[in-house]
Structure 1
Amino acid sequence: MEKEELIPVEVEWIDAHSSLDGMTISELEKATPFLTKSCGYLIKEDKEKIVLGFMCFGVNINDEPLLKHYQVIPKGMVKKITKLKEYKNG
Protein backbone atom coordinates (compact mmCIF):
# COMPACT_ATOMS: atom_id res chain seq x y z
CA MET A 1 0.00 0.00 0.00
CA GLU A 2 1.46 3.36 -1.05
CA LYS A 3 1.16 6.46 1.12
CA GLU A 4 -1.10 8.09 -1.50
CA GLU A 5 -3.55 5.21 -1.09
CA LEU A 6 -3.97 5.75 2.66
CA ILE A 7 -7.46 7.06 3.41
CA PRO A 8 -7.91 9.31 6.47
CA VAL A 9 -11.05 8.40 8.43
CA GLU A 10 -12.85 9.06 11.70
CA VAL A 11 -14.20 5.93 13.40
CA GLU A 12 -16.99 6.36 15.95
CA TRP A 13 -17.11 3.35 18.24
CA ILE A 14 -18.28 2.14 21.65
CA ASP A 15 -15.41 1.38 24.04
CA ALA A 16 -15.43 -0.82 27.12
CA HIS A 17 -13.92 0.61 30.29
CA SER A 18 -13.08 -0.36 33.84
CA SER A 19 -11.97 1.37 37.01
CA LEU A 20 -10.38 0.74 40.37
CA ASP A 21 -12.71 3.32 41.97
CA GLY A 22 -15.08 2.04 44.64
CA MET A 23 -18.71 2.11 43.47
CA THR A 24 -22.01 0.84 44.81
CA ILE A 25 -24.07 -1.70 42.87
CA SER A 26 -26.68 0.98 42.06
CA GLU A 27 -23.92 3.23 40.65
CA LEU A 28 -22.50 0.36 38.59
CA GLU A 29 -25.94 -0.49 37.18
CA LYS A 30 -26.03 3.04 35.68
CA ALA A 31 -22.60 2.70 34.03
CA THR A 32 -22.50 2.90 30.24
CA PRO A 33 -19.80 2.23 27.63
CA PHE A 34 -17.86 5.25 26.32
CA LEU A 35 -18.64 6.72 22.90
CA THR A 36 -15.18 7.13 21.36
CA LYS A 37 -13.86 8.73 18.16
CA SER A 38 -10.52 7.77 16.60
CA CYS A 39 -8.96 9.45 13.56
CA GLY A 40 -6.27 7.81 11.46
CA TYR A 41 -5.44 6.10 8.19
CA LEU A 42 -7.72 3.18 7.30
CA ILE A 43 -5.29 0.27 6.93
CA LYS A 44 -7.77 -2.62 6.88
CA GLU A 45 -11.48 -3.24 7.26
CA ASP A 46 -13.00 -6.70 7.29
CA LYS A 47 -15.92 -8.46 9.02
CA GLU A 48 -13.98 -8.73 12.30
CA LYS A 49 -12.05 -5.48 12.68
CA ILE A 50 -11.02 -1.99 11.64
CA VAL A 51 -7.27 -1.26 11.69
CA LEU A 52 -6.13 2.37 11.88
CA GLY A 53 -2.57 3.61 11.46
CA PHE A 54 -1.22 6.86 12.87
CA MET A 55 1.88 9.02 12.30
CA CYS A 56 2.87 8.02 8.78
CA PHE A 57 6.60 8.56 8.23
CA GLY A 58 8.18 9.32 4.86
CA VAL A 59 10.49 6.33 5.31
CA ASN A 60 9.34 3.27 3.38
CA ILE A 61 10.21 -0.33 4.17
CA ASN A 62 9.71 -2.76 1.26
CA ASP A 63 7.75 -0.02 -0.57
CA GLU A 64 5.26 0.31 2.29
CA PRO A 65 4.77 3.36 4.53
CA LEU A 66 6.11 3.16 8.07
CA LEU A 67 3.43 3.84 10.70
CA LYS A 68 4.48 4.53 14.29
CA HIS A 69 1.18 3.74 16.06
CA TYR A 70 -1.86 1.60 15.27
CA GLN A 71 -5.26 0.71 16.71
CA VAL A 72 -7.39 -2.40 16.16
CA ILE A 73 -11.11 -1.89 16.82
CA PRO A 74 -13.50 -4.89 16.87
CA LYS A 75 -16.09 -4.40 14.10
CA GLY A 76 -18.98 -5.08 16.49
CA MET A 77 -18.02 -1.95 18.47
CA VAL A 78 -18.02 0.35 15.41
CA LYS A 79 -20.99 2.71 14.98
CA LYS A 80 -19.83 4.79 12.00
CA ILE A 81 -16.84 5.37 9.69
CA THR A 82 -16.47 8.77 8.02
CA LYS A 83 -13.92 9.50 5.29
CA LEU A 84 -12.17 12.78 6.07
CA LYS A 85 -11.74 15.51 3.46
CA GLU A 86 -8.40 17.03 2.55
CA TYR A 87 -7.77 20.46 4.07
CA LYS A 88 -5.60 22.88 2.11
CA ASN A 89 -4.10 25.68 4.18
CA GLY A 90 -4.29 29.05 2.45
Structure 2
Amino acid sequence: MRRRQRSAVCLLAVVAVLVVLTATVAADGSAVKTTIDETEAAANAMALADQTMLIAAGGALLGIGFGAAVASGITYWYKNREIGGRLQ
Protein backbone atom coordinates (compact mmCIF):
# COMPACT_ATOMS: atom_id res chain seq x y z
CA MET A 1 0.00 0.00 0.00
CA ARG A 2 2.87 2.34 0.70
CA ARG A 3 4.15 1.83 -2.83
CA ARG A 4 0.76 2.77 -4.29
CA GLN A 5 0.68 5.96 -2.25
CA ARG A 6 4.15 6.91 -3.46
CA SER A 7 3.16 6.23 -7.08
CA ALA A 8 0.02 8.29 -6.67
CA VAL A 9 1.96 11.20 -5.17
CA CYS A 10 4.54 11.05 -7.99
CA LEU A 11 1.80 10.98 -10.61
CA LEU A 12 0.06 13.89 -8.94
CA ALA A 13 3.32 15.85 -8.85
CA VAL A 14 3.95 15.21 -12.57
CA VAL A 15 0.42 16.31 -13.45
CA ALA A 16 0.79 19.44 -11.30
CA VAL A 17 4.08 20.35 -13.00
CA LEU A 18 2.56 19.83 -16.44
CA VAL A 19 -0.43 22.00 -15.55
CA VAL A 20 1.83 24.78 -14.29
CA LEU A 21 4.02 24.62 -17.41
CA THR A 22 1.00 24.60 -19.71
CA ALA A 23 -0.49 27.59 -17.91
CA THR A 24 2.80 29.46 -18.14
CA VAL A 25 3.12 28.82 -21.87
CA ALA A 26 -0.51 29.71 -22.51
CA ALA A 27 -0.22 32.94 -20.55
CA ASP A 28 2.92 34.06 -22.35
CA GLY A 29 2.55 32.49 -25.79
CA SER A 30 4.06 35.48 -27.59
CA ALA A 31 7.42 35.09 -25.88
CA VAL A 32 7.47 31.39 -26.62
CA LYS A 33 6.56 32.00 -30.26
CA THR A 34 9.26 34.67 -30.54
CA THR A 35 11.79 32.28 -29.06
CA ILE A 36 10.79 29.54 -31.49
CA ASP A 37 11.01 31.96 -34.44
CA GLU A 38 14.44 33.16 -33.34
CA THR A 39 15.64 29.58 -32.93
CA GLU A 40 14.44 28.72 -36.43
CA ALA A 41 16.11 31.83 -37.85
CA ALA A 42 19.39 30.91 -36.14
CA ALA A 43 19.16 27.35 -37.46
CA ASN A 44 18.56 28.66 -40.99
CA ALA A 45 21.51 31.04 -40.68
CA MET A 46 23.75 28.19 -39.53
CA ALA A 47 22.61 26.04 -42.44
CA LEU A 48 23.41 28.84 -44.89
CA ALA A 49 26.75 29.49 -43.22
CA ASP A 50 27.70 25.87 -43.83
CA GLN A 51 26.97 26.31 -47.55
CA THR A 52 28.88 29.55 -48.17
CA MET A 53 31.08 28.19 -50.96
CA LEU A 54 28.15 26.53 -52.72
CA ILE A 55 26.12 29.76 -52.62
CA ALA A 56 29.09 31.81 -53.84
CA ALA A 57 29.76 29.39 -56.69
CA GLY A 58 26.10 29.46 -57.71
CA GLY A 59 26.12 33.25 -57.71
CA ALA A 60 29.28 33.32 -59.81
CA LEU A 61 27.78 30.92 -62.34
CA LEU A 62 24.62 33.00 -62.57
CA GLY A 63 26.70 36.14 -63.07
CA ILE A 64 28.81 34.52 -65.77
CA GLY A 65 25.72 33.21 -67.55
CA PHE A 66 24.00 36.60 -67.44
CA GLY A 67 27.17 38.32 -68.64
CA ALA A 68 27.50 35.88 -71.55
CA ALA A 69 23.88 36.44 -72.55
CA VAL A 70 24.27 40.24 -72.49
CA ALA A 71 27.56 40.06 -74.43
CA SER A 72 25.96 37.80 -77.04
CA GLY A 73 23.04 40.17 -77.43
CA ILE A 74 25.30 43.19 -77.84
CA THR A 75 27.53 41.35 -80.32
CA TYR A 76 24.50 40.28 -82.37
CA TRP A 77 23.13 43.82 -82.41
CA TYR A 78 26.52 45.30 -83.40
CA LYS A 79 27.23 42.74 -86.15
CA ASN A 80 23.68 43.03 -87.49
CA ARG A 81 24.08 46.79 -87.70
CA GLU A 82 27.52 46.46 -89.31
CA ILE A 83 26.31 43.99 -91.95
CA GLY A 84 23.18 46.07 -92.59
CA GLY A 85 25.36 49.13 -93.21
CA ARG A 86 27.47 47.27 -95.79
CA LEU A 87 24.43 46.05 -97.68
CA GLN A 88 23.04 49.56 -98.13
Instruction: State the TM-score bracket (shorter-chain normalisation).
Output: under 0.3
Richer in helix (by share)? 2
* TM-score with structure 2 setting the length: 0.21
Richer in strand (by share)? 1
Q: Which has the larger radius of gyration?
A: 2
* TM-score with structure 1 setting the length: 0.21
